[in-house]
Amino acid sequence: MKKTLILGASTNPARYAYLVANKLVRKGYPIVNVGRKRGKVAGVDIEEMGEVYTDIDTITLYVGPLNQEVYYDYILETRPKRVIFNPGTENLELRARLEAAGIASLDACTLVMLNTGQY
């Protein structure tokens, strides 16, 4: 199963990051939650950026482009196979860095991908 890092994880049930975390776990995907505020989502602690995971298949972004720069090196060091830019997170500068590092990226909605079997 594709281990997924949710960047911008939230304990707020109204947030898409929260919904995706729960949907991924229900479908059997292992997740890592990374966010600014501590808590727990889908039974998994929300961590602050720090530990670099090397077994991540997908990073799904829930951080707006104006707040992403602090995460650039972290994302690149993680070396995921792909990064999903959810609506509102699209970022040409980060996309160029990902491409240069050989990391695939796509503009998509993770929740829709999960609901339609495209994940």
Residue 56's φ and ψ, nearest 5 degrees, are: -90, 130
| Sequential pLDDT tens for the chain (119 residues) | 899 999 999 999 999 999 999 999 999 999 999 999 999 999 999 999 999 999 999 999 999 999 999 999 999 999 999 999 999 999 999 999 999 999 999 999 999 999 999 99
Instruction: Write down all domains in the chain, each with its CATH number in brackets.
Output: 4-115 (3.40.50.720)
- Which residues have a Cβ under 8 Å from the Cβ of 117 and sit 6 or more positions away? none
pLDDT at 1: 80
- How far is 118 from 2, CA to CA, in rounded Å? 12
- How far is 93 from 5, CA to CA, in rounded Å? 20
Look at the alpha carbons of 48, 45, 35, 59 in this order and tell me if their dihedral is positive or negative.
Answer: positive
pLDDT at 86: 98
- How far is 59 from 17, CA to CA, in rounded Å? 12
pTM: 0.96
